[in-house]
Every structure is written in C-alpha cells, then in structure tokens.
Structure 1
C-alpha cells in the first residue's frame, strides 16, 4: 500500500518534471525563495534524507528524480522497508517515514511545481483528504515547530505561515492555505 501510494505520487511528480520547459526552471515557485528547479532539488534531497545518503546528481533534474525514486522504491520493496529509523517525530519504520514525509512532499511540491510552471494544479481528492486529515491532526505545539524555519535543521521549514482561506472554499484550497501556500495568488 505505501509503496503503491509512493509510486503513484512519484509518477505524477515525474510527469510534471518532464513537462517543465527549459526556460521555466528559474521561475519562482510558491515556496518562498525557491525556483521551480529548487523545488525539484529539495524533493530529490529529501529522498536522500529518507535513505540516509545523498542522491547522485547530473545536470538533468528528470534523470536525478528518476534515480531518487528508483532508490526509494528499492528500499520500499525490500526488507529495509520495515526497519526502524530515527526521525524528528520519533522512531518509525522506513516505509512510514517515507509515506509521511517524502511521499506527501511529492503531492505538495507537485502543486508548487505545477503552479510555478503553469501546469494542472489539481491534487487527487484522496491525497487532499489524506493530507488534510494528517495536517489538521498535528498538535498545536508541534504545528508551531513545523512552521518555525530551522526547527528541524538549517533551512528546513515544514509548513509556512497559514494563509487565510474561506471555510467554504474547496478542501484543496483550505489544505494549501493551512500548510502555508496561497491557493489563489499566482505570484505567491
């Protein structure tokens, strides 16, 4: 189940990378201070964090992402998947850590990449519901830490400051606002 969810999300993210034109890599993303390329670099870096080693890089973001996803899928389909790892949220299995961090990142940063490069920004409803349930169940003191830049290490900010979104807005817009993205403004 976790490997299947990761695979589907990685497929969607890879498709977005493949659809970025060469002149769009420097375009700003909804993540403050990040370009479209830096969003992809972050996702690849986080794959390496999950695996405990950096992902080798080339000059091609698509090639690099494919290598990162190959390595994560190898880990998710091996005995290593159920091994315990230390995380900022406490010990958990590698597969749970991948599911809660890098797999969810593929969804949110997929939206960021789509927004930055003019692609379809629709997040699958099942992913929206799952991420909403997860984000809104985080205790307030932990959410404050999630929103504090550097709380989990230099340059790491899990969520940005909440962006107000009307309560009657679609759940995708409320999710994006809750995790610190402006679902309306194209110039976030």
Structure 2
C-alpha cells in the first residue's frame, strides 16, 4: 500500500503545485481538452477523486467551491484521498465497474493516477509550458491502458493521434491518449 500512496502523493503534489501557480487571469484559458478551461480541468480532476468516495462508503467532507476556489477545493480533496488510502479498510474495499474489480487503492493508483498525470500535462500546456512526465508514470500508464483496454481508453480520452516520427515514450503515450506532444 505504501507504494500506491507514495505514487499518489508524488502525482498529486505535482498536479497541486501547478494548480497553485495558475495566475488569476488564466483560469478561463483553454486547455487541450476540448472546450474545457483551466478551471474546468482542475474541477474535473478534483471531482474524479470525489466520485470514488461514494463507491467505498466514504462521505466527502465539505470543500471550497470548485468553481470559485478550485485550488482550495483541490487541496481539501487531496487530503481526504490521502486519509482514505491510509485507512486499510477503505483502501482495500473492492469496487466493481467498467474498469474491472479493483480495490479503492487500485482505482486511485490507476484511474485517478492517469487523470493526475495526463491532466497535469494538459494543465501545463494550457499555461504555456511543457510538462515532462516521470518515466515511471509513463510506464505505469501504459500498463494501466493494457488493463482497462482500448474501449475504456477511448471513452475517457477520445481517439488516438499519430505520434511524431521521432516520438519518445512520453510523446507516444500522449498521442495514444489523443494529445499532440510536439516538444514545446
């Protein structure tokens, strides 16, 4: 379990750290995610964390408004996920569904982990900079994609795009998830 929590902490700290740097004027900026703004993207990632609480019988505590204070809401939700991962009964609760019969900890590690990593890249692009994905995350996300299958990947991320001819593993992964990683 420590490995899952450690990976979550690393990913969530990266994401939350970027959220904390969003200038007030950029909350309405477009992202690579269709019509989503930066505010929409941060709200989506936070909401994905809350959705799974209900599946394991955890009632989320009130948080700041996702639309008025997405950064504050994100930090509050993050703390709740860490508490849930630290509770062995919650972390080990099995969740059936489209993705398979996973424990809450596996959902956090795989599904929420993918959200944190890929949408961190999206957030960075929306802010005008390039995010370098941790190579361990790239490998872990490829394994997650294999577990959930192409139908679920397409449901969540849309159609793949061709990777550049000189694509590294990050660019290949992002292309598979419908993103153009042109190195800028």
Q: Give SS of 1:158's match.
A: helix
Conserved? CA contact 1:87–1:97, under 8 Å = no
Alignment partner, residue 119 of structure 2: 109
Whose helix fraction is larger, Structure 1's or Structure 2's?
2
Could you state the TM-score of these two structures normalised by the residue count of structure 2? 0.86
Match for residue 6 of structure 2 among 4, 7, 14: 4
1:159 deviation in Å?
1.5
Aligned Cα RMSD in Å?
2.0
Paired residues for 1:28-177 under 5 Å? 28-52=30-54, 56-58=63-65, 59-79=68-88, 80-135=90-145, 137-138=146-147, 142-147=149-154, 157-177=155-175
Q: Give SS of 2:156's match.
A: coil
Q: Give SS of 2:32's match.
A: coil
Q: Which moves more between the two structures, 66-75 or 120-129?
A: 120-129
Could you state the TM-score of these two structures normalised by the residue count of structure 1? 0.85
Alignment: residue pair count: 174
Label 1:98 to 1:30 Cα distance change in 2 as closer, same or farther (>3 A).
Answer: same
User: For each residue in 1:146-180, what CA deviation from the matched residue of structure 2 results, as whole angstroms up to 9, or x when unmatched?
Assistant: 32xxxxxxxxx411211101354111111100011
Alignment partner, residue 22 of structure 1: 24
- Matches of 1:21 and 1:119 in 2, distance apart? 14
User: For each residue in 1:71-107, what CA deviation from the matched residue of structure 2 results, as whole angstroms up to 9, or x when unmatched?
Assistant: 1100000021011122322222110011111122110
Q: Which moves more between the two structures, 49-58 or 18-27?
A: 49-58
Alignment partner, residue 151 of structure 1: none
User: For each residue in 1:27-68, what CA deviation from the matched residue of structure 2 results, as whole angstroms up to 9, or x when unmatched?
Assistant: 110111111111100001100011115663322111100111
Conserved? CA contact 1:167–1:174, under 8 Å = no
1:145 deviation in Å?
4.5
Conserved? CA contact 2:29–2:38, under 8 Å = yes
- Matches of 1:133 and 1:92 in 2, distance apart? 15
Query: What 5-or-longer segments of structure 1 have no aligned partner?
Result: 148-156
